[in-house]
Structure 1
Amino acid sequence: MTDARGSARRNGAAPDRHTPGAPCWVSLMVHGLDATEEFYGALFGWEFRPGPQQLGPYVRALLDGREVAGIGRLPPDRHLPVAWTPYFASDDVDLTADTVRSRGGTIGVGPLDAADAGRLAIGADPSGAVFGVWQAAAHLGTAVSGVAGAPAWNELLTFESATVAKFYRTVFGHEEEPVVSADFDYVTLQLGGRPVAGIHGLGRVLPRDRGPHWVTYFQVTDVSDAADHVVHLGGQVLGPVHDTAQGRVAAVADPEGARFALLQPPG
């Protein structure tokens, strides 16, 4: 779980344009926008700025004035899952959308323009996991990494890694680095030798009520304190805090049920 934002620089520095295929943004669609702003503002110290208007009621979350994520309001008549969605950078979102379709995925939204910010599409891989594609214009994407409150990693939980990893390799040009283990199905997606995302095959352990889905990890200073704060703010801790090679991790959910993870890097 190293830095996953292409050319985004660590420790608060603004990014250049994200490398095509790199995760470049995360977005959440909810029913209660004001309450969700309060939750994440208190948890991560985010402030919010409205827009773009073409996306409906939508705000961009900022850390020290730099954009880190987006939150929008679901239309009242749309009964869609409340979930964090990672976006992958593309130089040509229309071409990427065509490739998604030709490789067994689907495009549910777009491609469409988001004012002068850029152009986007939202699709699903052949297993059904939802992701976005972003072609940057004025808005380059997540502008800070390596600090508390910023996205730190994106990981796909799915049935098995090999088939779906081939899909992402074909669509986004990822290289694959499998973990060689008899009882652990995991592939790291890389660009230029740098890890950008992970795919974890869980087989029958994958919750049937969720199906394959992406999980965004947000960096925190102290994962136990942050998990306690989640509960205090009306969210849930979904499992015990545990140690990994990348640091201490906790799986949590916000008050509307959107799942995400907290990551405290080692050191």
Structure 2
Amino acid sequence: MKQQEKQRYQELGDFLRTRRARISPEQVGLPRGIRRRTPGLRREEVAQLAGVSVDWYTWLEQGREITVSTQVLESLARALHLAADERVHLFLLAHQQLPLERPALEETVSPTLQHFLDHLGTSPAYVSGQRWDIIAWNEAACAVFGDFRAMRGRERNAVWRTFTSATHRQLLVDWEGHARKLLAQFRASFGRMLGDPQLTELINDLLTASAEFRLWWPDHEILGTPEGQKALNHPQVGFLLLEHLTFQVYDAPELKVTVYTPINEADTPRKLQQLLTEGPRVPLGF
């Protein structure tokens, strides 16, 4: 076994042992008994709760080279009452795919994050969830991309809007380049949520509604979330040029914040200030 792998298995064993030591028998519905020398749970108790053999679990804590399935890791996470961050750490140490975090029925942003968006001034910004729904925004985003407050359902979904909205297509100077990149980013995120019924329904409907989506989806292009520039042709103020950056929220990694910063070319900062001062005279509907 290579030294790095040996260290990883040892780290996994140590992590399991420390998690076991902090849980009392009463927390998992077991009697304490009289002769309990081990702090927390015994190995055989964890094995029983997780549905594995005592020998196998012992070897795992000893740092032996053992392949652990996703199902067993989930059982251990439940048996040891692991928090969300601890559960992810367990999967990483065991070299397994990160556990799927199903989004809540209603994804929300904290007041602090909304406050951050609202104080970005002339920089349009919004927050999107795991299914690419826009769930929070600032006034500049509404002025540039359309009034998210008036949109309903899928009208706020970035992928659906890109491929089905006529006004959004006209807004983007290079619609095809943007759509192809967004689709490749969406495909990458879709791989982490395979089987999600709402995403599956969204994709099936896009295959019906958009000829371009139907043509490009089978290509399986994959892309991260790069920085870059975006050129827009706004119906009220004309050409805009912005830099964009997307990052995850540390306390809610399923959420992404996208910020567009105006650059001096094409008098973009002044035009954005004009939009915010005057308000949209030309509606950017769906």
Specify which structure has the higher proportion of helix.
Answer: 2
- Higher-Rg structure is 2
Q: Same fold (TM over 0.5)?
A: no
Specify which structure has the higher proportion of strand.
Answer: 1
Bigger relative contact order, structure 1 or 2, given CA contacts below 8 A and separation 6+?
Answer: 1
